[in-house]
Amino acid sequence: AKNRGRNRAVKFSEEMNKEARMQLWLEIELQKALQNNGLEVWYQPKVHARDFSINGAEALVRWNHPVEGYISPAQFIPVAERSGLIEQLGQVVMREVFTTVRYWKTQGLLPGKVAINLSPQQFGNPNLIQFVDKLRKATGVNPNDITFELTESAVMSDGEHTIQMLNAIKKLGFSLSIDDFGTGYSSLSYLARFPLDELKIDRAFIKDIEEIPKQLTLIENIINLGKSLNMSVVAEGVETRQQATLLSNLDCHAIQGFHFYKPLPKNELEATLHKHNHH
Ligand code: C2E
Ligand code: CA
Ligand code: CA
Ligand code: CA
């Protein structure tokens, strides 16, 4: 038995090592990718809940590793956040999106507002405001065409800082969205205090609306809550036609999910929009 315990301990520390080595590998490779322009930005369209026409898009970072192929953001974003690389990654994404949005605008291709995800670490850094302002001027983008998505945990960390940051972003003309709504286990009071334009209901609420009737009631009330606070409400992670129909009947504003569109490379989205515009 003693021996088995020791084996287990050895096995456990091997697992730990494996995990730690993986994290370190990801960090080193991500650093290279940042140096070599190895990151891409893809876009997932959202649609109007009424007629399912495109009404915006969310920018999502993609990493095509030269040997491993595409690595999921769920794997490397946390590594970027812990290592501090998120700062540089975020700047790469913002530069790419601002430039693209400006280009789409001149081509008459803009699908509506384009959303950029901000990690708590990015939001926590006051330099963000100056960076965004400079980038706005450099690219000539209209801030009205861009939304920043923040999670509840990002806005709940520090009240005074949050208010100042959110007001500064709004003052520049950008929109603000609360991402993964309902998963942060935070109090709802921030909804009234912060200048938020949009609320995105997390996929966790959507995925079993067909099986759990109360889930639908819950969503209906979240939609009403958002509306009563003058926020537009988006349902995320919609994968089936039944879900889309239910949400459309509940009168939420927009829907996002694989049922309509997966995240697309820039050129594929452009092709989709060309077709879309000719209908
Ligand atoms: P998120 O902001 O909640 O983004 C939505 C995620 O759900 C995306 O995963 C998207 O591909 C996925 N998704 C969309 N529709 C569906 C659906 O119908 N079903 C399912 N199962 N999934 C759906 P992705 O691209 O892997 O990104 C994961 C997370 O990584 C994002 O979650 C976001 O937190 C983070 N992330 C992605 N890009 C960026 C970025 O540029 N900057 C920062 N800071 N974080 C990012
Ligand atoms: Ca998001
Ligand atoms: Ca989300
Ligand atoms: Ca998320």
pLDDT at 101: 98
Q: Name the residue among 225, 217, 224, 223 with its Cα closest to residue 236.
A: 223
Q: Hey, which of 30, 58, 76, 77 would you mutate to test ligand 1's pocket, going by the most ligand atoms within 8 Å of its Cβ?
A: 77
Q: Name the residue among 121, 42, 44 with its Cα closest to residue 79.
A: 121
| Closest Cα to atom 10 of ligand 1 | 263
Q: What is the pLDDT along the chain (279 residues), one digit of tens a residue?
A: 556 667 777 776 777 788 899 999 999 999 999 999 999 999 999 999 999 999 999 999 999 999 999 999 999 999 999 999 999 999 999 999 999 999 999 999 999 999 999 999 999 999 999 999 999 999 999 999 999 999 998 888 777 889 999 999 999 999 999 999 999 877 888 898 899 999 999 999 999 998 998 999 999 999 999 999 999 999 999 999 999 999 999 989 999 999 999 999 999 999 999 887 776
For ligand 1, whether the C-beta of 77 sits within 6 Å is yes
For ligand 1, whether the C-beta of 237 sits within 6 Å is yes
The Å distance, Cα 90 to ligand 4 centre, comes to 16
Q: Hey, which of 46, 117, 121 would you mutate to test ligand 1's pocket, going by the most ligand atoms within 8 Å of its Cβ?
A: 117
pLDDT at 209: 92
Q: Is 182 helix (H, G, I), strand (E, B) or coil?
A: coil
Q: Name the residue among 255, 191, 194 with its Cα closest to residue 46.
A: 255
For ligand 1, whether the C-beta of 218 sits within 6 Å is no
pLDDT at 279: 61
Q: Please report the ipTM that was assigned to this predicted complex.
A: 0.98
The Å distance, Cα 60 to ligand 1 centre, comes to 6
The pTM of this model reads: 0.94
CA atoms within 13 A on the CB side of 242: 7
**Side chain identity at 158, as an amino acid letter?**
D
Helix axis angle for 2-35 and 73-83, nearest 10°, is: 80
Cβ–Cβ contacts within 10 Å for residue 210, how many? 13
For ligand 1, whether the C-beta of 61 sits within 6 Å is yes
* Ligand number with the minimum distance to the CA of 200: 3
For ligand 1, whether the C-beta of 72 sits within 6 Å is yes
